[in-house]
A and B are shown apart, each in its own frame.
Chain A
Amino acid sequence: MHSLTLKIDSVQLEFDGRKVLRDVYLDCSCGEIVGLLGRNGCGKSSLLKIIFGTLTAQYKYVAINDKFVAKGYKHGVAYLPQHHFLPRYASINQLAGQLVDPLFMPELAAMPIYQQHAHKRCEQLSGGEQRQFEMLMILFSNADFVLMDEPFTHVTPVQSNDFKKLMRKVAQHKGIIVTDHQYYNILEVSDRVILMNDGTTRPIYRPEQLVEYRYLSGL
């Protein structure tokens, strides 16, 4: 299979004169998970939205295999936002039928949570259950690249472990960029870690560097 690479370069974003992102470089290939860490307000979510194509930057270069991509969602990029995004009035099986790749549908349909709730509308589910379906649908979508914004925040530790396994499995065919404040989950699941600091991206080779860059107070 021809491997795809998502490349993000020279992203510049300003809010009210404050430079949130400058000189950002990030790349992700199919088959790997890239973890993105950074403090609150450092621009992690904004960067993912810029890649996905729902936030306009002052300048950006986003490309898949060196072909410029203006809006990621039109070119095989899926995005899991921090908040719930499934339409409340629709049932889970209707939504899954739209978003999930037919190749992955049998795997999703075999999951106990799907069998239990497939016929229910989203508004009938708890926040945690919705979050699980959102993660499953995004991971099982037909996108080549998956951007996940705080996927572990609303799920229990046991579910986090299950999702990390699923992410590893899905990452055999897709590229995943994941960000979360639960840094231990990011360190565990990621092949590479990037720290966003002062609007720029810095590769992290050793966990100790997170302390050096003052992202962590200690390990």
Chain B
Amino acid sequence: MKRFINLFFLFARPLQFFNAAFTIMALLNIYSLRGRFFLPAILLKLAGYVAVAAYQNFMDSRAFYFFQNSGHSVVRLYIIAFALDLLCFGLIVIILNHYHAFAHVKNR
């Protein structure tokens, strides 16, 4: 299990920057919509995943052989990486909402 976790972090390392960038864009989107509509932000995140996967497939697909040689499917690693990122994004939104980060626009 420890080996898989280390492998997963190796796989996810180049994805982090792009996922963080799309997370910030999605949060700004929620902010601009006064914290009421989440669907466009979620769609933005999903579009981010497609863009990141397409970019990696085009630019760095050779490294996929490393992960396959470790016995793991690249698709499975992508699904885990994106699911965890989406979970983190959801938690950030819940926490920000809870602490009224969007309150000033909600109460307007």
Contacts and interface: CB of A to CB of B under 8 A. Distances in A.
Interface stretch (A79-87, A109-117, A185-193): A79-87
Contacts of B71: 73-74, 76
Interface residues of B, number: 18
B63 interface: yes
Nearest to A78: B69
Given A81-B62, A81-B65, A98-B3, A90 B10 contact: yes
Contacts of A86: 63, 66
A182 interface: no
Nearest to B7: A98
Contact of B66 (A52, A85, A143): A85
A141 interface: yes
A157 interface: no
A95 interface: yes
Contact of A94 (B10, B64, B65): B10
Given A71-B73, A90-B10, A99 B66 contact: yes
A138 B63 contact: no
Given A84-B62, A85-B63, A79 B14 contact: no
B10 A98 contact: yes
B98 interface: no
A43 B62 CA distance: 19
A182 B2 CA distance: 40
A53 B65 CA distance: 11
Interface string A134-146: 0001100101000
A97 interface: yes
Nearest to A54: B68
Nearest to A87: B63
Q: Is the interface of B mostly helix, strand, loop or mixed?
A: helix
Interface residues of A, number: 27
B57 interface: no
B13 interface: yes
Contacts of B13: 89-90
B68 A138 contact: no
Interface string A160-201: 000000000000000000000000000000000000000000
Most buried by B among A78, A85, A86: A85
A99 B71 CA distance: 9
Please name the 3 residue pairs, one residue from A and one from B, whose CB atoms are nearest each other, closest first: A85-B65, A73-B68, A87-B63
Interface of A: 52-54, 71, 73-74, 76, 78-79, 81, 83-90, 94-95, 97-99, 137-138, 141, 143
Interface of B: 3, 6-7, 10, 13-14, 60, 62-66, 68-73
Given A53-B68, A79-B68, 8 more contacts: A54-B68, A73-B69, A85-B65, A86-B66, A87-B10, A87-B63, A94-B10, A98-B3
